[in-house]
Each structure stands twice: as structure tokens, then as C-alpha cells.
Amino acid sequence: MRGAERFARRHGTAVFATEGTWAGGEAGVELRERGGRIRSGEAVEVPGFRVEAFSLPHDAREPVGYVVEDERGRRLGLVADLGCASRLAWGRLADLDLLLLESNHDLGMLRRGPYPWVLKQLKIGQSYVFSGKVQSYLGRLTMRNPEFEEPDSELLRAGRLAPVYPLTKGISAKWMRNTQKKVVSEWGRRVHDYLPESVRQQAGLMTLAQVLEQVHFPDDLVSLQAARQRLAFDELFVIQIGVLRQRQEYRSLPTQSFPLDT
């Protein structure tokens, strides 16, 4: 906006921008008062031309492209920083007489440039499932430092309920989940279920092997709740067994009778 403000002062012109651009820029009060608002999907009539703006997918404050049509029906499309080819953009840019398109996407610059490590790991043409904390940035929802996996692989970190383990220096969450998955898959089914099957079936509880799988990598919230219910049942069941055993031992101890005078 600073460049636009200097241009407007030098040539005595007004500046038109979207609400997001005005909000994110540092334009002065005079420039705002003399300027106007542009809204995606709304056409503006100026002498000899009809100008229509449309939204663009780019990491900026409400970016737009333009289609300008003159009185003879000739149409010009103007797009800068397209970001990616969206259906809306291609729909608005159909049936043009001239298209001015600016793009600066370069794979070499992307790999060598100061871009996030996560972005450099993505393969062209590959689909991914992302998981992370969603935040708002420049008026858009973003996900910073997300974890991602290919949808054809066994999803451990994205697209599902993922466990969060306490970590220490040198241990990443990805390594911990992968290791925990191997341990649960290999040894979980070998754990002896000490709860009698009759008791388990009567109470409608999971097996211990199912519990270990669903506690660490639950299929859904219902399965996770059922696994926790089994663990809670086991804890109370063992306490009750201990209390009954202790009561039985007390009753088996020899006692001495004392006569009472009445």
C-alpha cells in the first residue's frame, strides 16, 4: 500500500482495493477517504469499461483478479500472484480476448529458498492427509507445522484420533507414535487377559488386546471410551478382589473367645 499511496499522491488519483487489503495495509487516512472498496463478484462501471473482480487463492489479504470489458465486448483478464488454478479463477477467465497472467512459481527456488521444511517435503502430484492446529492468518485459516501422511498408507498421525505422548530431548512425536504402533501391534495381542471370559462377556467389555489397541490408536471416540471403561472396570475389579481376599484371610485367622459376665 505504501507504493500505491506514493503513486496516488504524485498523480492525484484514487486507489481502490478490497476490504482485506485496506485492513492489512498501512495506508493513510487521506488515501482511505479518497479511495474505494472492491468486492469479489461485483461489477463496477467506469467510463467505457466494465470491471469485475473475483477472488484468488493466494496467501495475501483478500487478493482478487479482474476481467475488464469495453463497450465493444472485448474482454481482458488480469491476474497477478495466482497461487494455484482454482475453478473460480478459470471460470471467470473464460472467453477472453487477452489474458495477462503473472506467476513466479519455480521448483528450484522452492527447494533452495527460505521456505518451511514441511513444504519442501511434499511431492508434486501426491495427495496428503494433514493434521495440526488450525489458526487464522491474514484472514485465512492456516495450519502451521502440520504433520502429514499419504492417504494410501496406514494413518498414524493424520486423518484419525492420534495419541499425544510425553516426550524428551531427541524423541519426536512421529518416532514415538511409530514405535508405539509397532509395540502394540506385535505384543498387544500376546498379553494375557486375566479377566475371566464369563465376567467380561457379562459386563460387555473388550478383550485386553483390543483395549491396548484402542487406547493408543482408537478407531473413534466410542471405541476409545469403551477401552477406558474396560481399564476402569479392571481397576475396581482388582480392588474388590483384594478386599474380598483380605476379608477371607481375616476370617480364617484363629481367634480366642473371652467370656463376658452379664
| Beta-strand relationship, 140-143 and 134-137 | antiparallel
Residues 124 and 98 in one domain: no
Report d(CA 230, CA 211) in Å as an integer: 7
Final residue of a domain: which of 120, 139, 160? 160
Domain of residue 79, CATH code: 3.60.15.10
Per-residue confidence (pLDDT) for residue 1, from 0 to 100: 66
| Beta-strand relationship, 98-102 and 75-80 | parallel
101: which 3 cell numbers?
497472467
At 85-130, the pLDDT tens digits run 778 888 888 899 999 887 666 777 777 778 777 777 777 777 777 7
**Amino acid found at 101:** L
Final residue of a domain: which of 58, 73, 105? 105
Residues 99 and 50 in one domain: yes
Residue 29: pLDDT above 80?
no
| C-alpha distances out from residue 181 to 82, 133, 171, 178, 214, Å | 42, 23, 15, 5, 11
Q: What residue numbers bound the domain in which 143 lies?
A: 106-160
Per-residue confidence (pLDDT) for residue 104, from 0 to 100: 66
Partners of residue 45 on adjacent β-strands: 50
- A 10 A CB-CB count for 16 gives 16
Residue 135: pLDDT above 80?
yes
Per-residue confidence (pLDDT) for residue 235, from 0 to 100: 92
Put simply, whether the predicted model's pTM sits higher than 0.85 gets the answer no
| C-alpha distances out from residue 61 to 17, 24, 37, Å | 10, 6, 14
Residues 145 and 186 in one domain: no
| Beta-strand relationship, 129-131 and 134-137 | unpaired
At 159-198, the pLDDT tens digits run 667 777 788 888 887 788 888 888 888 888 888 898 888 8
What is the rounded average pLDDT for all residues in the chain? 82
Which pLDDT band holds residue 156 (cuts at 50, 70, 90)? low
Residue 205: pLDDT above 90?
yes
Per-residue confidence (pLDDT) for residue 158, from 0 to 100: 63
Domain contains 260: no
DSSP 189: G
Per-residue pLDDT, averaged over 63-87, amounts to 86
* DSSP one-letter string for 132-193: S-EEEETTEEEESS-EEE-TTS--SSSSS--------TT--HHHHHHHHHHHHHHHGGGS--
Domain contains 123: yes
Report for 28-37, 78-87, 131-140, 229-238: range of highest mean pLDDT: 229-238
Domain contains 258: no
Domain contains 232: yes
- Are 38 and 16 contacting, i.e. CB atoms less than 8 angstroms apart? yes
- The total of structural domains in the chain comes to 3
